[in-house]
Amino acid sequence: MSGGVDSSVAAALLQQQGYEVIGMMLRLWSEPGRAASNRCCTPAAMNVARRVAGQLGIPFYAVNAQERFHDVVVKYFLDGYASGQTPNPCLACNRQIRWEFLLDRALALGADYMATGHYVRLTRAPGEPVRLFEAVDTHKDQSYVLHVLNQEKLRHALFPLGEYTKPQVRQIASDLKLPAADSKESQDLCFLAGQDYREFLGRHKPELAQPGPIVNTHGEMRGEHAGLVNYTIGQRKGLGIAAAEPLYVLGKDFANGALVVGTKKELGSSELIAEKVSWLAGPAPKVPFSAEVKIRYSAKKAPAKVTPLDGEGAKVEFEQPLRDITPGQAAVFYVNGEVLGGGLIASEPFSVQKAEIFSSEAVPVA
Amino acid sequence: MPVSKPIYLDYAATTPLDARVLAAMQPYFSEDPSSPLSGSLGTSFGNPSSVHGFGQRAEAALEEARQKMSSLLNAQPEEIIFTSGGSESDNLALRGAALAAREQRGATHLLISPVEHDAVSKTAGQLAAHFGFTLETLPVDEFGMVPPQEVAKRLREDTALVSIILGNNEIGTINPISEIAAICRTRGIPLHSDAVQSGAYLHLDVQKLGVNLLSIGAHKFYGPKGVGALYVRNGTKLLPTQTGGGHEFGLRAGTPNVAYIAGMAKAFELAQSELNQRTSKLINLRDKIIDSVLVTIPDSKLTGHRHLRLANHASFVFNNVDGNALLMLLDDAGFACSSGSACKTGDPEPSEVLLALGFARDWALGSLRVTLGIQTTDEEIDSFLSALPQLVERARNLELA
């Protein structure tokens, strides 16, 4: 429970369905001195969660995971960025904090299930794997981050909100007079405490805020960038380069501190390789299949052919090129609204050229 | 899942109000003209500072309570300052004595033990960080006891105040306050002792203890929360920290909480007069817990002294156990315990008190405090002792935070 409307309503719904409910709240890491402005698990949010638990008459435990969250999630975010990825820390949190560290504690309490306020749906049938589906409310759907679950975890998972829309959930909270915190709908990372992620990264990994060269795919210097952290793949505005045709950010070469730009024609790619792929049903499919693939939390699903590869990999070939394939984000595979699996985007669309660019000594490197 | 009524084993965190105490408080919340007690001496909601009869009756009750408290403590009535609780008493003692000592004799050195309650250590820390005092921490032995000769070695001409806890909240150890007080007295240095945990288990005679300042809080001895007292020996100078009206001899401004003060006096009277019969039963149960846990639970250690400890207090560390997870499992199984202080926010950091005793982090994180009270029964302890080993084992299988 977070004190927010979703987990509060989830707890109330489960209680109505006859479950014996225990509330647990994760205390996650925040930067020293910023705990009060974190987006989640602030002391104020915890007080609200306690009031909800009190109103429902259920036990409530705060589970401290600050140090572990820092080691597993924040470090993953910082190190991933520093090594040239754009990691999604929510994936690490769901895999190792929420659905491992917290789940273990819930199970130790003798719980049969752990429920969260995530908007996703599950189906269960005897002798069948548990299947994960998008939420009824597609705007709120959170199946992208929950593709990290496996059968062992799904067997213990309940998602009471998957069949509801957010307005319905708000209505339930209001009908039950639940004192849910009026949290802002935000996709900011919970530990940023209101800061821009670029500021956070720049402070913890100063090298990412260092200016460096902007180069094109031929290795020609086109200008200077203000720190790689300030750019996203597919970005056009704010490059400060006068060019005959608009230039886009194609990628980042972290090893050389260079920002790689190119024309619209060069932007994007029709394929990607996903690594560390997990398949929710267990074993990897044996044959390629048609799917819709989501390449970041807020992206639209794009039609593609998915080919499972040896060694927990998958090749994804899109029908249309995508502009913002970003290494470190997850590619998640959907068929008819069901999550079949997903993995981390590894391949860089411009990797072949890059190897050529930086073999040339003519290119100035920061 | 709880099978029966939950069992409360956290009397060091707080105690339930004694029914006799509630009855002693009731006359001071309101005035019912139809009550046979109405208008009688010491029965009023009035403000003790007021001139009229309502105020006079409230003041009579206040002074009756002060008289009772002082006689139980073997002190003079004017040596008792009523406060909002143990933490405020500690704050007033430290700030008040430190600031007065600096003003009077330029003393800026503070000497405290490393096993103080936060109300003392954080206050001393703030005096050092923001008010120009130097803070020195005394050593303790493996039981968390301050050796008196270590105090003697460290007293200085400019020592403003020494503060050493009497019965420790986390580990139960009782410090040799009388001996330490004798040393401080010969050097003319005031000594404060936090006796908040001790009110129900030790005879608090300030003459025998020899302290200049002593803090107590009512809710640790079946009195109400939100009220406490500070004993201030005549001649010990304090600068008030809460200023305003001249209440409490000018040392603590604010309309006195008459009903709660009357309740505290009643609770303290009961605690001190029934002390021997209460503690002899508690000591038996406490020792039963200690003997059983150390035998039935592998990788367990007692924290604090085996015998020189509070009568109701058993505390342990278990190697490689997440103490917070253990508390959760215990609560779910129907046993309300604590890890050492009443913190419930799931603080990850091992207790500084346990680290000061020399426990390594992987031991200090797995602390458990079991504290008993007058309602505790043999059956409850048997049931607790039979459940604990497997709960510790279950917590041990969880990854540490």
Q: What is the pLDDT of residues B252-263, one digit of tens each?
A: 999 999 999 999
| Predicted pLDDT of residue B237 | 97
Give the best residue of B327, B330, B332, B397 to mutate against chain A (max A CB count within 10 A). Answer: B332
Does B21 reside within a domain? no
From A269, A103, A43, select the one nearest B346 (Cα to Cα).
A43
How many other CB atoms are found less than 10 A from the CB of residue A228?
25
Distances in Å between the Cα of A51 and the Cα atoms of A116, A179, B228 are 18, 7, 28
Predicted structure pTM score: 0.88
Same domain, B239 and B311: no
Residue of B nearest to A67 (CA): B401
Same domain, B260 and B162: yes
| B339 contacts in chain A (CB < 8 Å) | none
Same domain, A257 and A332: no
Q: What is the pLDDT of residues A83-123, one digit of tens each?
A: 878 899 999 999 999 999 999 999 999 999 999 999 999 99
Same domain, B303 and B359: yes
| Predicted pLDDT of residue B400 | 72
SS3 A4: strand
Asked if B1's CB is within 8 angstroms of A62's CB, the reply is no
Same domain, A246 and A278: no
* Among the partner residues B329, B346, B395, nearest to A64 by beta-carbon distance: B346
Does A75 reside within a domain? yes
Does A136 reside within a domain? yes
Does B313 reside within a domain? yes
Residue B331 touches chain A, beta carbons under 8 Å? yes
Asked if A61's CB is within 8 angstroms of B346's CB, the reply is yes
Residue B346 touches chain A, beta carbons under 8 Å? yes
Does B2 reside within a domain? no
Same domain, B120 and B255: yes
Same domain, A26 and A159: yes
Q: Residues A105, A63: contact at Cβ < 8 Å?
A: yes
Q: Residues B279, B201: contact at Cβ < 8 Å?
A: yes
Q: What is the pLDDT of residues A1-40, one digit of tens each?
A: 999 999 999 999 999 999 999 999 998 888 877 766 666 7
CA distance B81 to B88: 11
Does B1 reside within a domain? no
CA distance A88 to B337: 39
Same domain, A95 and A83: yes
Same domain, A175 and A50: yes
Mean pLDDT of chain A: 88
Residue of B nearest to A108 (CA): B394
Pick the last residue of a domain from B239, B273, B307.
Answer: B273
* Among the partner residues A63, A68, A110, nearest to B332 by beta-carbon distance: A110
* Among the partner residues A46, A67, A108, nearest to B348 by beta-carbon distance: A67
Residue of A nearest to B332 (CA): A109
Same domain, B195 and B177: yes
| Predicted pLDDT of residue A159 | 98
Pick the last residue of a domain from B234, B251, B273.
Answer: B273
Same domain, A225 and A335: no
CA distance B69 to B75: 8
Q: What is the pLDDT of residues A279-309, one digit of tens each?
A: 999 999 999 999 999 999 989 999 999 999 9
Residue of B nearest to A70 (CA): B401
Same domain, A121 and A35: yes
Q: How many domains does chain B have?
A: 2
Asked if A108's CB is within 8 angstroms of B325's CB, the reply is yes
> At A364, is the pLDDT very low, low, confident or very high (cuts 50, 70, 90)?
very low
Ranges of residues in chain B with a pLDDT under 70 are 1-3, 32-42, 341-348, 401
- The alpha-carbon gap from B324 to the nearest alpha carbon of chain A, in Å, equals 8
Please, which residues bridge with residue B111 across strands? B136, B162
| B348 contacts in chain A (CB < 8 Å) | 64, 66-67
Does B168 reside within a domain? yes
* Among the partner residues B345, B347, B394, nearest to A108 by beta-carbon distance: B394
| Chain A residues near any Cβ of chain B (below 8 Å) | 20, 22, 27, 43, 46, 59, 61-68, 101, 104-105, 108-110
| Predicted pLDDT of residue A184 | 60
Average pLDDT over residues A345-365: 45
Q: What is the pLDDT of residues B159-212, one digit of tens each?
A: 999 999 999 999 999 999 999 999 999 999 999 999 999 999 999 999 999 999
| Predicted pLDDT of residue A352 | 35
| Predicted pLDDT of residue B289 | 98
Q: Residues A5, A48: contact at Cβ < 8 Å?
A: no
Does A168 reside within a domain? yes
Same domain, B300 and B157: no
Asked if A108's CB is within 8 angstroms of B398's CB, the reply is yes
Same domain, A214 and A316: no
From B254, B272, B211, select the one nearest B85 (Cα to Cα).
B254
CATH number for position A230:
2.30.30.280
Does A117 reside within a domain? yes
Same domain, A223 and A330: no
Among the listed residues A40, A41, A90, A93, the single catalytic one is A93
Q: What is the pLDDT of residues A297-340, one digit of tens each?
A: 989 999 999 999 988 999 999 999 998 898 999 999 999 999 99
| A22 contacts in chain B (CB < 8 Å) | 332
Asked if B332's CB is within 8 angstroms of A105's CB, the reply is no
Q: What is the ipTM metric for this complex?
A: 0.84
Q: Computed from CA positions of residues A265, A270, A273, A274, in that sequence, does the dihedral angle turn out positive or negative?
A: positive
């401080």: which residue's tokens? B184
Does B299 reside within a domain? yes
From A178, A163, A201, A184, select the one nearest A86 (Cα to Cα).
A201
- The alpha-carbon gap from B400 to the nearest alpha carbon of chain A, in Å, equals 9
Same domain, B238 and B288: no
Chains A–B, number of C-beta pairs less than 8 Å apart: 49
CATH number for position B218:
3.40.640.10
DSSP A334-361: EETTEEEEEEEE---TTHHHHHHHTT-T
- The alpha-carbon gap from A109 to the nearest alpha carbon of chain B, in Å, equals 6
Same domain, B57 and B161: yes
Residue A349 has pLDDT above 50, yes or no: no
Per the structure block, which two tokens stand in for A214?
Answer: 């902007």
Does A205 reside within a domain? no
The domain of B158 spans 26-273
């009190």: which residue's tokens? A54
Does A71 reside within a domain? yes
Residue B329 touches chain A, beta carbons under 8 Å? yes
Does B85 reside within a domain? yes
CA distance B346 to B241: 32
Same domain, A233 and A95: no
Same domain, B205 and B63: yes
Does A144 reside within a domain? yes
Same domain, A66 and A30: yes
What percent of chain A has a predicted confidence (pLDDT) above 90? 60
Q: What is the pLDDT of residues A161-194, one digit of tens each?
A: 999 999 999 999 999 999 876 666 556 788 887 7
Pick the last residue of a domain from A139, A164, A182.
Answer: A182
Residue A354 has pLDDT above 60, yes or no: no
| Predicted pLDDT of residue B341 | 60
The domain of A168 spans 5-182
CATH number for position A312:
2.40.30.10
Q: How far apart are the first and last CA of chain B?
A: 24
Q: How many domains does chain A have?
A: 3
Same domain, B356 and B293: yes
Q: Is B273 exposed, middle or buried (0-12, 13-18, 19+ CB in 10 A)?
A: exposed
- The alpha-carbon gap from A49 to the nearest alpha carbon of chain B, in Å, equals 12
Does A188 reside within a domain? no
SS3 A85: coil
Q: Which residues contact B392 (CB under 8 A, 6 or more apart)?
A: B297, B300, B318, B321, B326
Pick the last residue of a domain from B273, B300, B322.
Answer: B273
Same domain, A10 and A132: yes
Same domain, B158 and B209: yes
CA-based Rg of chain B, rounded to a whole angstrom?
A: 22
Average pLDDT over residues A133-140: 95
Average pLDDT over residues A50-70: 93
Helix (H) and strand (E) counts in chain B: 14, 12
* Among the partner residues A20, A62, A109, nearest to B344 by beta-carbon distance: A62
Does B81 reside within a domain? yes
Pick the last residue of a domain from A266, A281, A302.
Answer: A266
Active site residue A40: no
Asked if A110's CB is within 8 angstroms of B331's CB, the reply is no
């719904």: which residue's tokens? A13
Same domain, B195 and B322: no
Distances in Å between the Cα of A112 and the Cα atoms of A56, A128, A334 are 19, 18, 28
